[in-house]
Structure 1
Amino acid sequence: MIIELFGPPASGKTTLAHALAAALEKQGFDVQLIVSSRPAERGSIPGESKRALSWCRTELGAPLSRAAKLVSAAPILLGATSDDLTASIMDLLPPSNLLRSVRCRRYLSLLARSWKVASTSDRIVIFDQGYVTALCSMVLLARSIDRSVMMRGLALIPRPNLLVRLDAPRKILEARLRARLGRQGALERLFEFDLQTSLQQIETTSEVAHVLQEQGGRMMHVSSLDYCRLEKAVDQIVREAKSWKKEVNQVDPSLLEGRHIIRVAR
């Protein structure tokens, strides 16, 4: 089962991902947490287990540390080829400059690798940022964009078993972003959006969510205004996971050959 969280920067995606991994572990699930970690966010979640934290050291999570980005971007700068999905997304939504292009291609290549493994795993795999978040960022970075291109992008990307949208009031998000930027050094800021660009992602994320709803997709919508609301969301997602496990256990394995069962969250 793949659980993907999406929302604007500072909406609580990584916070919820850590709390959810710990809660699912307590319920006996085998969980892998794949996060785009920031040093300032590590250890910020009360009640995390050491085992849950260890799952962050994954193929995608570790290279997303800011210092490692310079090294892992080298193959892209040298002309290394990417997977077909990454190439298709980059062709559809080409970033406006070289640095952003390298950043997006690097992230999408790592994401594709991790997603492929997750799609064949018996674990519950949680992405604090997946293809929907990547698409929202690339829509913002593209030279020009219209609604039809956004819809084509959504048609390209794989969908998780459970899609969770997070948001918070704009003033709250801005305060969190200012605090985050204040904790970052010059190297980290090189790979981050500035404040105004980050805030623009609020509207972009809302527009993408609206398109998904128009296409018939159902999403779990979570307010990250406070930790109490996130705890309620964790409880709801755990119930979804239990329901998914029950459904999988009731399906004849012979019916799954060559097929993928996709459930989209309420």
Structure 2
Amino acid sequence: MIIEFFGPPGSGKSTLAHSLAGRLRDRGWAARVILCYQPRNKGDSWDRFGVISVITRISSAIFALCVAFLPSAYENNGVRLSNKLIRIIPPKQIIWRVRMWQYIVRLSLCWKQSQESTDVTIFDQGFVQAIGSLAMFNDTTDDRMIAQALFFAPPADLVIRLVVPRDIVEARLQARMRLEPAAERLFEVDVAGNMNAFDVFDKIGNVVQRGDQSILSVHAVDQESTAIDLRLVEEEILAQLSRTGLHPANQWQGGTQSTGKAVL
């Protein structure tokens, strides 16, 4: 089973993905989180300014691109899918076209592996989030373009939308920016740019809601509201798993508790 979160940057996708995985593991299911991005803390003494981190990220991206051009990658359609989504919603700046292209290729490979796994796999950022990112860097994306991109993207079994007030998200983004090393900030969107994503993700949420995908919302305003909504998400996941005929004991035989990481 594949679950994906989506929402504006700073809405808490990674934190809630881990919380959900923990709740499922407490129920006996093998659940793992695929992290698509994990920023460095500038307090790390070994890489205070983030230079090593940036070099590692660039090297990883180059390696991923090389792997993507292997015959097996073409068989998985990751390259073709990335080309198609970029054509539908092309970012205006070339640097973001390149970054999003290689990111979607690697996401496709991770997605394919998750489809073949017996684990409950939770993406803190899946294809819906990727399409949202493309729209952020396009400026003229409309509902038709979003719907077309979603049509070609592989669907998750459950999509979870994070609905968080603007002031909370802005405070989180400012705190995150202060913690990131200087070199890392060169590769990221500033707070103002990320705040403009609210309208984009509202639009995407409406399009997904009108589609065939199963979608739930988590209103992460405070601990109480988050816990209530996560409980509803957990119940929906367990209901879907029960319809497949699987049981926790069966999941433990073929799954792991590991946390996957795919850094953009």
TM-score using structure 2 length? 0.78
Moved over 6 A (4+): none
Q: Tell me, in whole angstroms, the C-alpha distance in 1 between the residues paired with 2:216 and 2:106.
A: 26
Query: Per the alignment, do residues 66 and 165 of structure 1 end up closer, same or farther by CA in structure 2, a change over 3 Å counting?
Result: farther
CA offset at residue 243 of structure 1?
1.2
Query: Per the alignment, do residues 245 and 75 of structure 1 end up closer, same or farther by CA in structure 2, a change over 3 Å counting?
Result: closer
Amino acid at match of 2:23: A
Q: Tell me, in whole angstroms, the C-alpha distance in 2 between the residues paired with 1:36 and 1:66.
A: 15
- Other-structure match for 2:94: 98
Q: Tell me, in whole angstroms, the C-alpha distance in 1 between the residues paired with 2:122 and 2:65.
A: 30
* Helix, strand or coil at the partner of 1:160: coil
**What are the ranges of 5 or more consecutive residues in structure 2 without an aligned counterpart?**
42-52, 70-77, 247-264
TM-score using structure 1 length? 0.78
Among 226, 251, 257, the residue aligned to 1:230: 226
Which digits, 9 at most, give the CA deviation of each residue in 1:127-165, with x for residues without a partner?
000000110110121264333222211111111111100
Q: Tell me, in whole angstroms, the C-alpha distance in 2 between the residues paired with 1:227 and 1:66.
A: 34
- Other-structure match for 1:258: none
Which digits, 9 at most, give the CA deviation of each residue in 1:89-126, with x for residues without a partner?
12222222232122101211111011001112111000
- Other-structure match for 2:6: 6
Amino acid at match of 1:103: R
**Contact residue 155 and residue 213 of structure 2 kept, 8 A:** no
- Other-structure match for 2:56: 68
**What are the ranges of 5 or more consecutive residues in structure 1 without an aligned counterpart?**
42-64, 251-266
After the TM superposition, which residues 82-231 of structure 1 pair with which residues of structure 2 at under 5 Å, given as runs? 83-142=79-138, 144-231=140-227
- Other-structure match for 1:255: none
Q: Tell me, in whole angstroms, the C-alpha distance in 2 between the residues paired with 1:195 and 1:148.
A: 28
- Other-structure match for 2:18: 18
**Contact residue 35 and residue 124 of structure 2 kept, 8 A:** yes
| Fraction of identical pairs, as percent | 31
Amino acid at match of 2:110: S
**Contact residue 31 and residue 125 of structure 1 kept, 8 A:** yes
CA offset at residue 204 of structure 1?
0.2
Q: Tell me, in whole angstroms, the C-alpha distance in 2 between the residues paired with 1:76 and 1:87.
A: 16
* Helix, strand or coil at the partner of 2:196: helix
CA offset at residue 218 of structure 1?
4.5
Q: Tell me, in whole angstroms, the C-alpha distance in 2 between the residues paired with 1:92 and 1:182.
A: 35
Q: Tell me, in whole angstroms, the C-alpha distance in 2 between the residues paired with 1:84 and 1:36.
A: 20
* Helix, strand or coil at the partner of 2:245: helix
**Contact residue 23 and residue 234 of structure 1 kept, 8 A:** no
Q: Tell me, in whole angstroms, the C-alpha distance in 1 between the residues paired with 2:143 and 2:233.
A: 30
**Contact residue 40 and residue 181 of structure 2 kept, 8 A:** no
RMSD of aligned alpha carbons: 2.3
Q: Tell me, in whole angstroms, the C-alpha distance in 2 between the residues paired with 1:241 and 1:141.
A: 33
**Contact residue 3 and residue 121 of structure 2 kept, 8 A:** yes
**Contact residue 5 and residue 126 of structure 2 kept, 8 A:** yes
CA offset at residue 40 of structure 1?
6.3
- Other-structure match for 2:34: 34
* Helix, strand or coil at the partner of 2:90: coil
**Contact residue 21 and residue 31 of structure 2 kept, 8 A:** yes
